[in-house]
Structure 1
């Protein structure tokens, strides 16, 4: 039968029920049979009982909608959703191609049934029986859908036999009161078409800028398929899925007989985005919270099955307007972070670490319209090395009770046909788990994850660990239904999922599902609590030890992450292109597709992603030359520094299950560092696993030998000296000497010193060796400093007159005994002691900034 012939036979024009070819009585009989199957043993009597309790339908029910109010964390309404974007069209404005498409995909027997479809009801009944009394869908006609959308809640728990019976009864009644044309027109005017758009006539204007009567086949097929999941099949935000759904409708139309295969194939060739209008420009204020708004809508639809656009709900959210403004300004202005262009995208999720409440969220930057793509909840990109604490280091502590010192060798590594490499293509040899995580070494992570001596046989338990953190492991590795070898440093998650998982580290191991909504209240005042329960995802020692290691990342990237007075932990992540992709898109050697940062504190957990939507297009890569490889860190630091500026400093308290020990670095198994060791590191152990045996000391500090003090009267000074203390050749530490003279200390590196003009008293001098912070025993010497022996007084003589002097000059000289110098009886005051100043040493603290030291993931 040709399409035209079929249309003549089944003409889609308005018709009353009594024009149906099948007798009314036969239709009712078949319907009753279907209903009996649906209600099972309860029979027709139970159906009648339920039907009698059905609500009455008014014209307002079929045409009216109610907007929902969104309330922020302060109790203020910040947005009203729905009730605005709706245009009504008359029956003759809806084209036949749209009616054909709708009936082909939703209700092929629409023109023949009396409101319910016996065949569909039978199918639903079978599903009810085989699914343990659960209504699983199917059997709803267009008329029943109109009833459901107009009168009943669509919450899953309301999908009961009573509700289905009432829905069927009201559909039969409605078919008696209205024509098919009126029913399908009401449906087309009421149905949700994505975002804030209701009715196909509204959608035609919003999406394609044309009257509904001018819709073409490919456009009509798109609209007919959207009501199943209008936001998911939105051609603006999800064009790929929208096109798949449109093509399904086209196939159904071929099977329905309304179009030919050739017509369907031609329509499929047209991209779903062709002809789409530019999104409607929105008020800047609504774009500030656009990502948060879409997350709220998705959460309501997922958890309640209410339609938030029409149900008239009061939705209580965790939205923090000030925090949202901070994040929005950071990524949409040049005041805080400089982006190389407007095409580069970002997503961010800010979560309360202790409650899982999403307080702010960025779905993208430089948005052009409301309800744009939300990358925070829908991004499908690898998270790079930010996955390592989740798949490797957390499980290693949780399942194996590894310490932060656990040793591993960074060396060339092969596992089957897989040979991963590090970001720098170098190897660091033996290293601790802490250093491997902080420097984001891939090979140590791969060894811990895959080798049987570590976690190689524990992947099932790792999967349970991840699921306890809200991570869907079936999606974590594209192309696989679970963990693979590269899950050690690679995997797919959304920014919200990633932040939620890390928040468990911040919250002593307790996980709470990230959520935007706390409760909803409907028009009847019925309240639905949506706050999720919390669960223990890991031991407190696991959370604390992972956090302690990740604190070191803040120091590693000090200039990009440090916030004065704010104690935090963080992990970076970067993904790589393949060699083929690099060649095809002319990607520079330092170009990468994705950059991540997850940081957290007892207050907040925040995840940030930066990249391009089309990361394989030439020029769409992150690199050092334009600064884009640092953007995730800079967005985090800039936003967080403003968010926490007024908060008190808080740190995590070490639980009793964790002990700290000083370990001799390089020892394996670990040994306690001996006192004064110059090669010690402080690490954390699960209580009961810490080492008890100490390493042999490298050296022992002893008192200096050869200490002597000598007073030189002619110079009036005391000279002090001793033998140098020598360290072993392999110990590169400075030797200092603590010198004390009668209790006054001085620190020096020389092995001698001089006391000029010493006081005339006994001097007690001690000298001790100091290396690093350890001081050895002291050597001591004493010396008495006093005046020289007193000399006898010279007798006074009279001064001779001039004559006597001349006579004496004429006499020959006779040798005489030298006379003792005259003692005038006065002591000279001792000179001021100048030996009081201390030399000081300047210690320069050099901080290495590893801005360009990104970790790459194979």
Structure 2
């Protein structure tokens, strides 16, 4: 008995000593570890690594930049079944324990004793938060001890709900998805609220081993893990037996879902990315910035479609270049091998890769991948035949075998319900649209497909504008006192300029000469020789100073007469910006593409404040400036403050009369000149100018109304001819027409308003002088006040061809003539 009592006493003493040593050891460990623990306050202001997102002006997603896919959600936005699934899978006692589940730790310790191996075990959700935010994932005793102390510290300073929200947004769930919001999109293409119970359980099973249980990489193992989670939910009472049976029997449909991009604008997205990195450095990729651009989704879609359709149309005119690749054909089906080849051939410009597997008569069988075949009929092949257009469509001697062979890797374009043979165009192009009253870029396409070439031709390609530059030369002539009725001789010009190192003999595109020509008619018909004489008469220096007002790059404007034919180099953006001066009545705006920048929570960090065209504001300001300042009573102070908060006004750089005259001249370009194809739009408010450079290296169309300016360009990156007759009217204008047809649909006509100070008068079409009452060839022309020409004589003799431009003789008038 005494022995038993002695042993009991020794046992109690030993236990107490062990307890004291444990407490001392724990305290000592805490004192050693505590200084190394990070402050929990940082968790309250934690900034999850959320990618940069770019949107259209109405909130449609354009692009996302950043390595981690994350869509942060408030706990209230996460469905209860999702929360229950994670608790069942990871920590069913989360709301009971203080951050450390001692039962789990005991299990891990027993496993260590039994196996001698260190394995992760007993990790609660709070401990996972501690590890994911502050610690590494290495499996050491020291890290585990830090994790325990840090979890206890987190539990003291954050609520359970705050911890759970951090966890569900931070946890890595495979396939670059961080948090449940991103996982729902990546695996199932939906928001968390739209997930089924089976899908919820699948995602909840991922934290244990995201790679091993990935439903895309290993569906069988992932399904086993999903069913385990469902079983845990059933045993905990979160779901019924019936729900368990239904969910566990479902076939999982997880697959990789890309971003749901609502606007195809990769070139603009890259412009935004570069700008954001310039502003915020590498933080731009992880701070959750939201950039709202100025892009109009309807116009952007129209721009992409118009450019691609027109470049493909041009490419077909050049003839079929053959298969993209030729495979060794053995005549046997090899779908696995074909799939690999097609998977390595990306879709470009919506042109789908396919393999020809059979040719018979006037049709071909093609393989599209994933065990899908299609029939390519003669209507989709005929254009590529060497004799297309020269032989009857029903000529039985023509066959598909003269175009295609089995083993050809080709491209197909979907048109309605049929496929059409296509090729990736070698030619490139660009289109940009700008709102002329504030400079907002509403559409921009920098090439056929960003995936093929990231070079943004809309803002980076410096190309010769050709005749697209002539309106600025003619505007300079108006500024120097010439009128739209001034006569210039369309006759041969020989320029012996040392700067050109040779004698220059420019010609009109037609090769013909037209004699004395009014300025308006010269622009309407794009007469090169008249343009040179205009520049000769006003001088290269004054012309360059005038062009500078439009924002054209002075350092790229040649100081010789070739400037008259557009030998300068400009980007489509620069040319579009210059044309806005004509479209808005004479004001210089600043183009911009970022409307607003917000932080992750939607708080504004930047708001565009461009100078705008506002005639009413300008008039009010002028009226205010003309009045002597008067002292304001105290009650007027708020109004004064409101007036001080006026919008920034774009400066006037061209007088309103000049801008309007140029608008009417370019409107005639479309009505009866080189831009007549645009009449297909059925609008009377549009104006523009074609542009073609020497040997058809570049084709342009620059057009506008008061609502929108759009510039289309076509050319090869490695400068070469577009081909015979591939002018601005044929190669570029169709892009502009297709775009404007959709961009201006259901939009009322926006004709520029005629400013005061202009007079309409009947003139003789040949001489430019005021016409007499019985003149048979009289036309109406607009003149600035004080610039009306003299009356034509009773009998007009044959006009002498002179190289000296004839300023229309003017006389003063006090009334408007008709």
Q: Normalised by the shorter chain, which TM-score bucket?
A: 0.3 to 0.5
Choose between structure 1 and 2 for higher RCO, CA contacts under 8 A separated by at least 6 residues.
2
* Higher share of residues assigned helix: 2
**TM-score, normalisation: structure 1:** 0.45
